[in-house]
Structure 1
Amino acid sequence: MGTQALYRSFAKNYFIGAFPERNVETIPAREWMQWLDTISLDKPKTANSLFTKLRACLNFCKSKFIIEKTDLDRIKRQHVGKAPEVGTRVPTFSELSMIWLAIERSRASSSNKALHQLTMLWGSRLSELRLARRSHFDMEAGIWTVPKELSKTNTPVRRPIPTKARVILERVMATYDDVLFPGGDLDRPITISAANRYIRRIRDGLPIEDWRTHDFRRSLSTGASELGVMPHVVEKMLGHELGGVLAVYNKHDWLKDQLEGYELYAEKLDSYLK
């Protein structure tokens, strides 16, 4: 669902209207390149990512025999814009505290603010929370289960609900119904584009190095490890599949160890918020 939303957002912002009333099979490579180069002037990384997503969409159409071929196949990715760099940004606890307070003080819906603060605390993928439903949270047992439909690994992900996250989650549950993080329509989750727009506003108002929501995952991985949380537990906190023999035979979630890790992480963040 998160991937579909991302592709729809790209289509709305770039694809639709780019070649009005044209058959995609008849657009020559030169026109494709000119269009991509125009985008690349201001957003070279976006152009590169856009090309990759467009090629994937058209390849899907070819696999379903909706179209035969397109001239986009003649273009190589390395010739379009600039490839995104491998993520290395790790916001520090000091920076996380600045982001947290900026979110807290912002004029936004409580669902939007809670979505990003909880993402920071859990180190989850944004769409795991964005698309979450009330039924995914067992408040009595203290477990959040991401169903396989929302998991990048196509397997359920179980995380404990730490104290600081519980306080925010209970407030969200007291305000909203089944959809816990809605946008303008209370029956629909906030869109990925709306969530990203909000974070851009927060980011633009802070005097810190460029960052994005996904970087919270590296912060949790690094911060929890520095606090002594074992690597296999950190991997489970991030919702990763374990490698090797563990992936085949060991289905344990280490929920107790995860909870201890999350509590330590939240306590460390709190020390910077005071």
Structure 2
Amino acid sequence: MLIILAVALFSGAAAFFHSTKLSDRLSSSDDQIGIVRVEGVIMDSESLVEWIRDLRNEPSVKGVLIRVNSPGGAVTPSQEISRAVARLAKQKPVVVSMSSAAASGGYYISAPATCIFANPSTITGSIGVIMELTNVADLMEKIGVKRQSLTSGKLKGAGTPFRKMTRDEREYLQSIVDDMHDQFVRAVAKGRHMDLKEVRAIADGRVFTGRQARTVGLVDKLGGMEDAAAELKSLCGLSGSIPTVEQPEKKRPFIERIMSNIHITLDATGLPQGLLVR
């Protein structure tokens, strides 16, 4: 255990100094390419939005490559990151490289980019919004448990799992989903310079392969990360070997850094229910 802890401490220290070095490189006078990685389910936007802002404000960063490998996630974080990408693309070339998946929230983030690359087999699109609600009313009745609640209005308890949804509640919640979907569609139309009717025709939640997405106008070119990087250098007027700068590793509690280096995690949270872009 002492040997393992010593190795973990050394690895943690190396990661810390490596992250500091990456942060210092943002003030470099050399031309650089910024890298943004969007990985996994999107449930938070703060660190990514801050990093995108740093890259936007740094003169030495001439363009940004965004690598997306995400099936989607919560609506608001996806929207916030998408807006950050749109602001970035107004000032510098931004090229998205889609990995295995860049669907729903992953596509929301990608849409404002200058150019989008997808692999032929990438799963993307899925322009839609879903609200998932659990109903346990029948189960409660079977076990003889009754729940009473007092609300300030007839729609305050909409979505409660303890009784069946009324018609008014369904219409109310559906209007929320529809409004968020409309925001998603408009963001795609604006980012991709497409007609709203054209986007609505394919924004029914379906997914596309990268090859299909190119046919309907959701991506620009087929290729991997290397192809996307070459396109970005061309858009920036750069050639040869260009240094890249990635987001410094987020600082975590000391004990968590140690445990993560020996493949033990302290975080066992699950995914919350609610509004997701899918």
- Shorter-normalised TM range: under 0.3
Structure 1 or 2: more strand by fraction: 2
Higher relative contact order (CA 8 A, sep 6+): 2
Structure 1 or 2: more helix by fraction: 1
Larger Rg, first or second structure (1 or 2): 2
TM-score between both structures, scaled by the size of structure 1: 0.25
